[in-house]
Every structure is written in C-alpha cells, then in structure tokens.
Structure 1
Amino acid sequence: MHDLTPTTPGPHRDFAAPDIDLPAGACDSHVHIFGPHRQFPYAAGRPFTPEDAPLELLQDMHDTMGFARAVLVQTAAHGQDHAAVLDALTRYPDRYRGVALLGDDADARQVETLDAAGFCGVRVHFAPHLGAPPSPDALARLCDLISPHGWHLEVHTMGSGILDFADYYPELPLRIVLDHMGRFPMPVDRSPAEHRTILDLLNEDDVWIKLSGADRVSEELPSMSDGLALARSFFEHRPDRCVWGSDFPHPNTHGFMPVDSDLVNGIAIIAPTELERQLLLVDNPTTCFNFRVDSATTSTDQNSRRN
C-alpha cells in the first residue's frame, strides 16, 4: 500500500456562518474533493498526499456558508481517475459541474463520457510543483478534444507563468478560465507585467478569471487585504468575466490556513453590492460553466417576477 501520510495540512473543520448573506443559487467556482481514500484511492504518482476531505465535508462547509452549487476541480492527488467527482456529479447533477485532468492518452470517447456526466472543462498547469507545463502540441490536441463539447480550458499559473501562457493564447480558440488570479508575486508593483497581461487577457472576448486564492497571493495576513484588493481590481475591470471560488480544502497550503467564513466575508470587499454579488456568484458562473439556468435564481428571473 502506498504511504498515505499527509504531506499537506487539511482545512479548518469547525465551520461558522459568515457575516454576509449570499444570493440564492450562489456558486463556489473552485473546490476539490479528496477521497475518502478507501473508496477513491489517491494516484500512485501523485505530487502530494492530502488529508481526506470528501464530498460530505464540502457540503457541510457549503451549507454553512450558503452555497447552492459548485465547480468540482479534479485534483492532481487523484490524477486522471475522476471517480470521486463522477460520484458527486451522478448524485447531484444540478448542483455540481466538473473540471477534468486529462492525460496524454485521453481520447474523444473519454471526453464524451465525462461531458455526459457533467464535466465542462479541463485544467492545465503552468505551476512547477505540479509538473512540466503542456507543450504547444499537447495544448492543441486538448483543444481539439474538448472544443466539440463547448468545454473551457482552465489555466493554473504561478510566478511568471501567466506570461508563458499568454504566448499560447492566440492559438487557443475556446473559452479560457484563469485560476487563482494568476498567482503572481505580490504586491502588484513587483509584477506589473503579469498584472497587465491578465487585464489584457480579460479584454478578450471569452477569457474569465476565478477570484480565488486571496489567501495564497496575499502578503498581508491574516486580513488578506491585498489579495482582496487585487480581486476587486479584476472585478471592477471586467465584472462580467469574474467568478469566485473558495479553493476548499486549500491543498498545498503551508503556514497560513484560511478560515472559510473569512474568505466568504471577503466577498463583501470584492463585490460590495447585492447586484454585484448576484453577478459574481450566480449569473456569471451559470454562463461560464454551463449550469442549467433553472438550477439557480438569476437576476433576469428576479426582474421578470418583479415586472
């Protein structure tokens, strides 16, 4: 049996309700499921070993915070075995969407199967601790596999990785979703090229950004004030292209472990008004991740009921 000693700490598990009320149908657009490993084993060649954080723990957190929906992002700890996410999608098809990790041997039949189950995107890494970035040929092949299904390409970068990805972008004719605000070194004046590149990408027709990972990018802890200010700057720049995610259960977090209610309270800084929170948490993720419109209460629906 492979060593299951965790190499990354687990989340806080004593959930408390946040100070703000979330809109009906609110979506947490970036979360992971880990195990339980006896039912859903971790991959033999995984880059890290987490504590078990199964679907039931995620649902406990979401029910406490006020989230109705979520995007389940396949984790490198499970590799290309999507059984845990598939189980969640099978049991709760209207509540969840999935983002896959595909290997070099992925084929059209596998993508068709995942699409039918509720997957809507595939994630690639420009992050050294998760392996080498994909080659241009590998990215082109992924795009050919997923484009017929309307999937997005989810791009996880660190450091100057967003600059590397920007060189690939013109050849990628599909929706792009940027993870964790680009994870470039803070403060912003240390990384002006990275910040400007993200703003420029958001000016394109179908580039989106997850305002997740404020805890990961912040230098000002525990307040996360600089990370939240960065998220607000992106939201002000393209409010129609931003979604929010908790990144629960915060894998590969060493040192500061965020309290989930604090992250949710930070939404009030990113999107101070009810209309902004409706856009960030309901309307935008419904569009970006192809949720069924009737699985959430959208501002359009609310307006129609008022008229």
Structure 2
Amino acid sequence: MTKPLEPLPQGSCDCHVHLFGPAGRYPFSPDRVYTPGDAGEDELRALHARLGISRVVLVQPSPYGTDNRRMLAGLERLGSAAKGVAVIGLGTPPDELDRLHAQGVRGVRVNIATHGMDDPEEAWRLIQGQAQQVARLGWHVQILARLNVIEVLAARLMELATRVVIDHFGLPDLALGPEQPGFSGVLRLAGSGKATIKISAIQRLAGRGHLARAIPFIRALSAENPEALVWGSDWPHTGGGRGVGRAATDIEPFEAMDDAEALSCLTEAISDPAQRHAILVDNPAVLYGF
C-alpha cells in the first residue's frame, strides 16, 4: 500500500467501514446473503494510520441483521474517534434507540439493495417508517438502494424529517459516466441540501484497475454541492467471492484493495483544498457529531 498523493487534513474521517468477527462471539444472521471472515479494530487502526485518518464511522453490515453488538463493541474500543450507523427493526422500542444513541450511534441504515428490493413504493414504506422512528434523536437515514429506486423517490426523500445519506454513490455503473439514467436523482439530492452522498465503494463500482472512473462522478457531485459529500473506504471490502457459486454460509474472501489508490481518486477529482477539507473533515463532523 502506498501513501495518498497528498497528506490528508487533520481530523479526516473514513465514513464507511465494517467490523466482523470472531463468529463465535458475534453470530451472523441466518438470513445473510454472504459470510465474511474476521476484520477487527487492530487492522482498521493500522490502515488508518497509513492513510492519515483519525476518525471513523462503523456501519452495521448486513450479515449481522439487526444485531448491532459487533458494531457497538467497536465503538467502545475505538472511543470518541468513532461513531456508528445501526440497523434496526420497525418495532425497535424507543428506549433501545436511546441506548444506541448513548453508545455513539448517529444514523440507521436501510439495506434496500442488499436483499434485491426493487419496488420504490415498498422501499419508501420502509424508509419512511425508519425515519419516523429516529427523527427525535436527530439521526439520519442511510439508504443502500439502486439508481432506479432513488430517482423515483428523490423528491419524497427531500421531504423527510431526517437527513438522508445515500450509500456508494447510489450504486451506479461507473463505466457509464454520470450521465447514465437515474444518476440525476442522486445529483438532485446532493443539490437540495437535504442529503449527503457517500463517495464510497469505488473499487466495487469501478472494477479492478479502473478506479479513475469515479472521478467524473465526484466532480459532478461536488459541482452540485461539496457540502453534501463524505468519503468512505468500504473497508474491509466484502465481495471477493461474488460470482463463484459460493453458498451464503461459506466464508467469502475480502477483495484485495489499495485504499490509498481509491482515496487518491478523491484528491485528484477535488483540487480545491477547502472542498477537500469539507468532504474529509467538516461534513462528517456535522453529520455524525464528532
């Protein structure tokens, strides 16, 4: 792994990582679509030391379902430099949400795409219900959904009582450029001031050896509103076993990834130091309450 081309500003935040294992202590959901190996705090700290990152957001990964214990253990171990995004059920009681807030959780993730949900109306009912649950806490609703769903729901998402965070650029095909059908919905959300877009999962969306495909997307989003952007590595890069006929219960390898190279896409796309500072430091500080 190489260092980024330029030093990162003090207080830079990686807004999208997952922690896994050990499975004997933190069992996976029987409904999971993949089974990861272990990826813990020591490896994460080492990565961030190399990159020059001092803050992190732990996002509840789908294999754990609504059991947030592994993510919460990470928040405890990483201390004030970490915040969390949980996955909850529609019946999660308010006192449980209060406990999550006290432990550092600042958002809830709605995994629309993970389980193949493609109906915008079904997705809206879930998003709206979760927003109603967490609005009083000042949390945001983080949405993993595909462009067709986001485009249909964009206007309604702007009217939610909570802020909206769009995962992984909205899952576009980076090979098709920002003019592709559906990405206009993500751009409208960015420009609205009501949503945050995560510049994350570049390696998953671009393909190995093609990370620069993300640069036009970053520039298009920044042209709409640089205050609407945050960056995330998506470490430890799940999905190394996609397309090989692996059962959901088989341990799937992580993808080999140079995170410094992925981060350099951001620094290449954004030449203005003030905008870089906003994306890496200021915007995460406001969104997550660092």
The count of aligned residue pairs is 275
CA shift in 2, pair 1:138/1:218, >3 Å: closer
Tell me what 1:152 maps to: 140
Matches within 5 A, 1:4-83: 15-83=1-69
The reply to whether residue 172 of structure 1 matches residue 171 of structure 2 is: no
What is the Cα deviation at residue 161 of structure 1? 2.8
What is the Cα deviation at residue 210 of structure 1? 0.6
What is the Cα deviation at residue 100 of structure 1? 0.7
For the residues of structure 1 that align with 2:103 and 2:83, how far apart are their CA atoms?
9
Could you tell me which runs of 5 or more consecutive residues in structure 2 were left unpaired when the two chains were aligned: 244-254
- Provide the alpha-carbon RMSD of the alignment: 2.2
Matches within 5 A, 1:1-307: 15-127=1-113, 129-132=114-117, 135-166=123-154, 168-188=156-176, 192-218=180-206, 221-253=208-240, 254=242, 257-291=256-290
C-alpha contact 2:18 2:59 (8 A) present in aligned 1: yes
Deviations 1:28-65 (A, max 9, x none): 01111111223322222211101111122111111111
Tell me what 1:10 maps to: none
For the residues of structure 2 that align with 1:228 and 1:190, how far apart are their CA atoms?
10
User: Which deviates further from its counterpart, 91-100 or 181-190?
Assistant: 181-190
What is the Cα deviation at residue 275 of structure 1? 2.2
CA shift in 2, pair 1:36/1:234, >3 Å: same
What is the Cα deviation at residue 141 of structure 1? 2.5
Output the amino acid matched with 1:146: V
What is the Cα deviation at residue 240 of structure 1? 1.1
Output the amino acid matched with 1:111: L
C-alpha contact 1:71 1:99 (8 A) present in aligned 2: yes
Deviations 1:111-161 (A, max 9, x none): 11111110000111231x435365544333212210000000101122523
Output the amino acid matched with 1:231: I
User: Which deviates further from its counterpart, 256-265 or 60-69?
Assistant: 256-265
For the residues of structure 2 that align with 1:93 and 1:190, how far apart are their CA atoms?
38
For the residues of structure 1 that align with 2:10 and 2:174, how far apart are their CA atoms?
34
What's the secondary structure of 2:218's corresponding residue? helix
What's the secondary structure of 1:92's corresponding residue? helix
CA shift in 2, pair 1:262/1:35, >3 Å: same
For the residues of structure 2 that align with 1:195 and 1:188, how far apart are their CA atoms?
10
What is the Cα deviation at residue 241 of structure 1? 1.0
What's the secondary structure of 1:278's corresponding residue? helix
For the residues of structure 2 that align with 1:135 and 1:178, how far apart are their CA atoms?
14
What is the Cα deviation at residue 166 of structure 1? 2.4
Deviations 1:172-230 (A, max 9, x none): 221011111111234446863412111111222321111112222226x4141111221
Could you tell me which runs of 5 or more consecutive residues in structure 1 were left unpaired when the two chains were aligned: 1-14, 292-307
C-alpha contact 1:159 1:185 (8 A) present in aligned 2: no
What's the secondary structure of 1:266's corresponding residue? helix
Tell me what 1:11 maps to: none
Give the percent of matched residue pairs that are identical in Structure 1 and Structure 2. 29
TM-score (ref. length: structure 1): 0.82
CA shift in 2, pair 1:61/1:136, >3 Å: same
Output the amino acid matched with 1:38: G
TM-score (ref. length: structure 2): 0.86
For the residues of structure 2 that align with 1:277 and 1:196, how far apart are their CA atoms?
23
C-alpha contact 1:125 1:131 (8 A) present in aligned 2: no
C-alpha contact 1:210 1:245 (8 A) present in aligned 2: yes
C-alpha contact 1:101 1:122 (8 A) present in aligned 2: yes
Output the amino acid matched with 2:192: E
User: Which deviates further from its counterpart, 224-233 or 256-265?
Assistant: 256-265
